[in-house]
Amino acid sequence: MKFVDEFRDAALGQVLAGEILAAVEPGHHYKIMEVCGGHTHSIYKYGVDDLLPANVELVHGPGCPVCVIPMGRVDDAIAMAHQPGVIFTCFGDMMRVPGSHGTLTDASAEGADIRMVYSPLDALRIAKRNPDRAVVFFAIGFETTAPSTALTLKRAKAEGVPNFFCFCNHVTIVPPLRALLESPDLRLDGFIGPGHVSTVVGARPLEFIPADYGKPVVVSGFEPVDILQSVLMLLQQLSEGRCEVENQYKRVVPYEGNLAALRVLSEVFELRPHFEWRGLGFISQSGLKLSDAYAEFDAERRYTIPNVRIADPKACQCGEVLKGVIKPFECKVFGTACTPERPIGTCMVSSEGACAAYYNYGRFAREREVV
């Protein structure tokens, strides 16, 4: 398909790999964080890390919305799903995220009516077809997904659908990045910036990274050639002593973002004072809730939920993985007690999660290294 095939071109990838090799300073160890899980997935799927010199290390960031949902919110979701008359809808990967007493899949086996959807619009459709049931949509995701939820809520309001509710867990990308940059145990040379979040918010909100923390950022596409080119652009900034936000993904990311989407977001949502992130703890002004104008659709106002903070399982090191402090395979339970079939931590659940991506693709490369 156009806009896809040319960015998977192996010959072009080799050329870029050669340029990257020429751009690195021998003796310097580069640590570059790819913020978003989509990049992590592509890197392992296409073996992008195998094309990089040994002294360029890619560190996986916190940009997988499934991975950052804390256990307490999963428990809240399960409590809502068990309410009489509720049809609970969510994206597929959320079904397998463990709460303190099992997953939404387990709740479904116990009799809760839980349905997987591909978009919030699907959930609204279910609500219209089942007017005598309450339909709750488990909304998760960064600024890329939030407009979809917002538009669906606007549609529900315009069409007067009284039985549609939203359990809002949308989060924003800038506060966790700032929290990461403030973290003392982190040493990074630069960031591969989120591509599709930037389609909505633009590249401008990332300018604080070079301005306040002196690290270069390149907003990147998701195909292997995109990622290689972004690594090269970061290395060029470092070698030329530049430090700025560059946009590798110009074919879809306008520097100012999508203004219509930003307007819809500010109409439907407002910032929570704080929101808990798995592994990162509470981060102020990092989560969204429904604004007062949309209060009638707010599942948290309709249902009493446990709202209890649950500590992550002791054995799980998702927190360190999300901060890029350890590699997935350095976690004590990686690939043994924690696998995609029976995940302990969220990073093993979603295909975008660093652990799942590493388990599915990267571990083979590691096995080669060990042998």
Partner 1 sequence: MMPDVDRRSELAKTEGRNHCVTCSDEAVPMRVVRIDELRDLALCQDAAGARSSVEIALVDGVRSGDTLLVHAGTALTRVEELTA
Residues near partner 1 (CB under 8 A) are 1-4, 36-39, 41, 63-66, 91-94, 118-122, 140-145, 147-149, 151-152, 194-197, 199-200, 222, 250-254, 258, 260-261, 264, 339-341, 350-352, 360
- Smallest gap, in angstroms, from Cβ of residue 84 to partner 1? 27
Closer to partner 1 by CB, 106 or 243: give it.
Answer: 106
Closer to partner 1 by CB, 24 or 200: give it.
Answer: 200
**Cross-strand partners of 284:** 274
- C-alpha 62/C-alpha 194 separation (Å) is 11
- Contacts (Cβ under 8 Å, ≥6 apart) of 160: none
Q: Are 306 and 75 in contact (CB under 8 A)?
A: yes
- Smallest gap, in angstroms, from Cβ of residue 54 to partner 1? 27
Closer to partner 1 by CB, 149 or 230: give it.
Answer: 149
Closer to partner 1 by CB, 23 or 253: give it.
Answer: 253
Q: Two tokens at 366?
A: 């590691």
- Smallest gap, in angstroms, from Cβ of residue 71 to partner 1? 17
Closer to partner 1 by CB, 30 or 91: give it.
Answer: 91
With b for 16 or more beta-carbon neighbours within 10 A and e for fewer, the 317-334 pattern comes to bbbbbbbbeebbeebebb
- Smallest gap, in angstroms, from Cβ of residue 259 to partner 1? 9
- Smallest gap, in angstroms, from Cβ of residue 147 to partner 1? 6
Closer to partner 1 by CB, 24 or 362: give it.
Answer: 362
- C-alpha 286/C-alpha 85 separation (Å) is 32
Closer to partner 1 by CB, 24 or 245: give it.
Answer: 245
- Smallest gap, in angstroms, from Cβ of residue 137 to partner 1? 11
- C-alpha 149/C-alpha 130 separation (Å) is 19
Write the Ramachandran bin of 93: left for phi over 0, alpha for psi from -120 to 50, otherwise beta: alpha
- Smallest gap, in angstroms, from Cβ of residue 78 to partner 1? 17
Closer to partner 1 by CB, 200 or 344: give it.
Answer: 200
- Smallest gap, in angstroms, from Cβ of residue 37 to partner 1? 5
